[in-house]
Amino acid sequence: MSDVSPQHHHVMKIVVVGKGGREHALVRALVESASQPQVFSFPGSDAILELAQPVDAHDLDSLIEWMTANEINLCVAGEESYLVTGDGLANRCEMAGIPCWGPHKQSAQLEASKEFAKLFLERHGIPTGRAVVVDDADQARLAIAGKYPTVLKFDGLAAGKGVAVCSNEIEAEHFLHEVLVQRRFGAGRLLVEECLTGPELSIFAAVVDDQALVFTPARDYKRAYDGDLGPNTGGMGAVASRQLIDEAMMEQIQTTIINPTLQGLKKDVLPYRGFLYFGLMLTPAGPKVIEYNCRFGDPECQAVMPLVAGDLAEFCLAGAKGKLRKDLLDFSNDWSVCVILASAGYPESSRNGDEISGLDSVTGARVYHAGTKHVGDAWVTQGGRVLAVVASAKERVLAAELAHTEASKIQFAGSQRRSDIGLRSF
Ligand code: AMP
Ligand code: GLY
């Protein structure tokens, strides 16, 4: 009998779904894995496709078909959109017999529906802001009851624009009009939520059923300008370090938030194998959940990945098959600082086609591409967030200074960068 074909004689084939800076970082970490997998990306970007090979697909159906035809061993969900498209990426992978690192559609409702997430949190006694779900503006006014500040959250997907922290009635009325009268995001309910205070923290766990491995904690910078001023963005930078919080806080987050979440997923029969993002507020009354996301953060992923050593490819494959292999990864105790270079007009708009120079002179940092395009011999801007420059060091200030120094070597017309990432507003 010669039909025993040992798995390790085959090169693992991975497809990463997504196209942004987060996926560039994931693809790079997978490519650098000791198991030396062959990495493909869908839809990918010009920069990602320098490390990974393209996938000939245009939607979920053709992606599943292509992965089956090409004997893909693992599908890694970078972004969330396909997790809730059609029957869901993970569900479709399961039907096709392809291990998937990313949760089933029903579990991804934790990100897709704020009402679903809030009910989950309340049902399982996980600390979070009190909230009331309303259908129209009158119910919303009753729920607000004249108490400000208040937080209003549209229930469905709203491209990151569905949350308003309102400090007075004028701001609340403006949001209610946009969302419940003009229906800017379409039909859907609204959460009126208690306003929490304290520093925010992003915790990422690799979840395999009812077990989890917590990655390095991170903090992102959501506002456009220095000093946390200006409009909200997708994130202008991030800092990651195990030293962001002390042991006691990590322990409290584990016992009051992470463990009950894992138990809740199990009780509710919500299959979960993939990254789970806990958006937390460290309030005076302890850490509370602001939101769940069913993926890694962007740009937190770009900050965290350089701190991770080991075999991410084997880790994700084992996880997708139901084994949490903590032994496959190691986390550095260093600080990592990620600085975003954004294009002219961001976040209201973005400008494409500005030629980028200086990329080759960056020596002390990693550069991940979020919104670029290769034209002839040059890289040009193609989107709002263009590049992430990431440096690490033993000390936070050293990592930050290095990231800023290296970022300053890169130029393009209209380039925007916060100068306080990792230094001030911290
Ligand atoms: P989300 O879209 O849920 O991530 O919310 C966007 C941002 O709104 C969060 O990062 C917080 O800064 C803020 N936010 C959300 N919920 C609350 C809350 N209950 N209290 C205070 N700020 C909040
Ligand atoms: N950095 C925030 C997010 O990925 O949603």
Query: What CATH number corresponds to the domain at position 85?
Result: 3.40.50.20
> CA-to-CA distance for 374 and 379, rounded, in angstroms?
5
Q: Cis omega (within 30 of 0) on the bond before 231?
A: no
Q: Cis omega (within 30 of 0) on the bond before 37?
A: no
Please report which ligand is nearest the Cα atom of 299: 2
Domain count, the chain: 2
- For residue 180, the SS3 value is helix
Yes or no: say if 83 and 296 are a contact pair by the CB < 8 Å rule: no
Residue 41 inside a domain? The answer is: yes
Ligand 1 mean position, distance from CA 281 (Å): 9
Q: Ligand 2: which atom is nearest the Cα of residue 293?
A: 5
Q: Is the CB of 300 under 6 A from ligand 2?
A: yes
Tokens 């949490």 — which residue? Answer: 324
* Same domain as 84, residue 152: no
Final residue belonging to a domain, choices 85, 102, 119: 102
* Domain extent at residue 151: 136-188
* Same domain as 146, residue 74: no
Ligand 1 mean position, distance from CA 290 (Å): 6
Q: Is the CB of 91 under 6 A from ligand 2?
A: no
Ligand 1 mean position, distance from CA 213 (Å): 25
Ligand 1 mean position, distance from CA 340 (Å): 21
Residue 296 inside a domain? The answer is: no
What's the pTM value of the predicted model, to 2 decimals?
0.95
Sorted by sequence, the CB contacts under 8 Å of residue 173 that are 6+ apart come out as: none
* Same domain as 84, residue 149: no
* Same domain as 86, residue 19: yes
> CA-to-CA distance for 24 and 46, rounded, in angstroms?
10
Ligand 1 mean position, distance from CA 317 (Å): 33
* Same domain as 140, residue 69: no
- Name the residue of 80, 157, 300 whose CB sits within 8 Å of the most ligand 2 atoms, as the mutation to test its pocket: 300
| pLDDT tens for the chain, residues 1 to 426 | 444 555 556 899 999 999 999 999 999 999 999 999 999 999 999 999 999 999 999 999 999 999 999 999 999 999 999 999 999 999 999 999 999 999 999 999 999 999 999 999 999 999 999 999 999 999 999 999 999 999 999 998 777 778 999 999 999 999 999 999 999 999 999 999 999 999 999 999 999 999 999 999 999 999 999 999 999 899 999 999 999 999 999 999 999 999 999 999 999 999 999 999 999 999 999 999 999 999 999 999 999 999 999 999 999 999 999 999 999 999 999 999 999 999 999 999 999 999 999 999 999 999 999 999 999 999 999 999 999 999 999 999 999 999 999 999 999 999 999 999 999 766
Yes or no: say if 163 and 151 are a contact pair by the CB < 8 Å rule: yes
Residue nearest to atom 4 of ligand 1 (CA): 291
Residue 338: strand pairing partners: 238, 390
Tokens 């009402």 — which residue? Answer: 115
Backbone torsions φ then ψ of 82, nearest 5 degrees: -70, -20
Q: Ligand 1: which atom is nearest the Cα of residue 279?
A: 4
Q: In the structure encoding, which two tokens stand for residue 2, read together?
A: 């010669």
Residue nearest to atom 11 of ligand 1 (CA): 290
Q: Is the CB of 78 under 6 A from ligand 2?
A: no
* Same domain as 78, residue 27: yes
Q: How many Cβ atoms sit within 10 Å of the Cβ of residue 230?
A: 14
Yes or no: say if 421 and 404 are a contact pair by the CB < 8 Å rule: yes
Q: Closest by alpha carbon to 296, among 18, 7, 2, 13?
A: 18
Ligand 2 mean position, distance from CA 408 (Å): 24
Final residue belonging to a domain, choices 169, 188, 207: 188
* Same domain as 145, residue 71: no
Residue 254 inside a domain? The answer is: no
* Same domain as 153, residue 93: no
* Same domain as 88, residue 29: yes
Query: Which residues, judged by CB distance below 6 Å to any ligand atom, belong to the binding site of ligand 1?
Result: 129, 151, 163, 165, 193-196, 200, 222, 279, 290-291
* Same domain as 87, residue 26: yes
Q: Is the CB of 298 under 6 A from ligand 2?
A: yes
* Same domain as 85, residue 31: yes
Question: What distance, in Å, lies between the first and last C-alpha atoms of the chain?
Answer: 63
Final residue belonging to a domain, choices 188, 213, 228: 188
